[in-house]
Amino acid sequence: MRVMVLVKASKDSEAGVMPDPDVFAKMGVYNEELIKAGILLAAEGLHPTSKGLRMRFSGSERTITDGPFAETKELLAGFWLWQVKSFDEAVEWLKRAPFDGNTEIELRPVFEMEEFGEMVSPERRERKEHLRAEFEKRTG
Amino acid sequence: MRFMVMVKATQDSEAGAPPTQELLDAMMAYNEELVKAGIMKGGDGLQPSSKGARVQFDGTKRSVVDGPFAETKELVAGYWLWECASLDEAIAWVKRCPNPMPGPSEIEIRPLFELADFGEIVTPETAAQWDRLKAEAGGQG
């Protein structure tokens, strides 16, 4: 199964404060362990919300609000995508991450096509596979 | 430039309400356009927070709190990773997205960090780790 690991923001991350060089190095080592374990699928850091925006969809209306946004501890600062045998395995790996200070990380299983079950007709499934092949061809 | 484009949760997505056939079709067509434009680098739907958990780090302490979580409109329900020429291009593409939810909804756009953005804290060793990470984690597995 795949799990998304969401690193919540902090006052520092929102202020654009760079990570402690020691923590940055430890995170590099941790990512290498994740790679060796065959778990790491993706890892990204997000710029502060001051560099981002939100678009509201309401009927045919589209409204843009520029960042920054207020609810710091609910904002996202980074994420991983992991391939794991179980949700518990993801939790155990996360406990080993080298975060310092007060940090909160959210884990969420992602939907696989199978979870949509009967909603996905054979035609749609085939089209999705075709799309995935096209995507993989282009991203190499 | 690379972006994370996040679909925020709603009561519907948190309740696990399945998408309509119409929305599935419209989203598939939209995703096809993103792939054809060379923009799509990844994307997933996240299961409701009732299936998730949070781990709190405090010094060496680790506490696990099970979902669901209350702040619905701050939760992430889905995301894409895009490569666009500019933030404006990403915005234009988001405008073309079919409404991902049955009612009003919100999509957040955030630029991603590149190695150069970390400036002085990067060492030759961490730069090499970064390169290996990107080589390994470029796709979606």
User: Is B95 within 8 Å of A75 when comparing Cβ atoms?
Assistant: no
Nearest-CA residue of chain A relative to B52? A108
Which of A139, A76, A128 shows the shortest CA–CA distance to B41?
A139
CB of B50 within 8 Å of a chain A CB? The answer is no
Phi then psi dihedrals of residue B38, to 5 deg: 75, 15
Smallest Cβ–Cβ distance between A110 and the set B47, B97, B100 belongs to: B47
Cross-chain CB nearest to A83 (options B47, B112, B141): B141
A-B CB pairs within 8 A amount to 203
Decide: A10 and A102 in contact? Cβ < 8 Å: yes
Q: State chain A's mean pLDDT as an integer.
A: 90
Residue B18 confidence (pLDDT): 86
Region A4-21: mean pLDDT is 94
Instruction: Considering only the beta carbons, identify the residue of A4, A58, A134 that sits closest to B44.
Output: A4
Which pairing describes strands A103-109 and B61-66: parallel, antiparallel, or unpaired? Answer: unpaired
Which residue in B40, B56, B57, B51 sits closest to B9, CA to CA? B51
Q: Mapped to the 3 state alphabet, what secondary structure does chain B carry?
A: CEEEEEEECCHHHHCCCCCCHHHHHHHHHHHHHHHHCCCEEEEEEECCHHHCEEEEEECCEEEEEECCCCCHHHCEEEEEEEECCCHHHHHHHHHCCCCCCCCCEEEEEEEECCHHHHHHHCCHHHHHHHHHHHHHCCCCC
The CA-based angle A106-B58-B45, given to 5 degrees, is 5
Q: Residue A112: list chain B partners with CB under 8 A.
A: none
Answer yes or no: do B53 and A57 touch at CB < 8 A.
no
Q: Which of A41, A51, A94 sits opposite B137 (nearest CB)?
A: A41
- B119-128 pLDDT, tens per residue? 889 999 989 9
B76 neighbors B7 (Cβ within 8 angstroms):
yes
Across residues B123-135, what is the average pLDDT?
Answer: 90
The Cα–Cα gap between B86 and A76 comes to 21
Does B125 contact chain A (CB < 8 Å)?
yes
pLDDT digits (tens, 9 = 90+) for A91-127: 999 999 998 777 899 999 999 876 665 555 677 677 7
- C-beta of residue B41 within 8 angstroms of C-beta of residue A139: yes
Q: Determine contact: A92 vs chain B, CB below 8 A.
A: no
Minimal C-alpha gap between B86 and chain A (Å)? 12
pTM for the predicted model, two decimal places:
0.91
B34 class by beta-carbon count within 10 Å (0-12 exposed, 13-18 middle, 19+ buried)? buried
* ipTM greater than cut 0.85: yes
Cα–Cα distance between A77 and A10 in angstroms, integer? 8
Q: Which two tokens stand for residue B137?
A: 């984690």
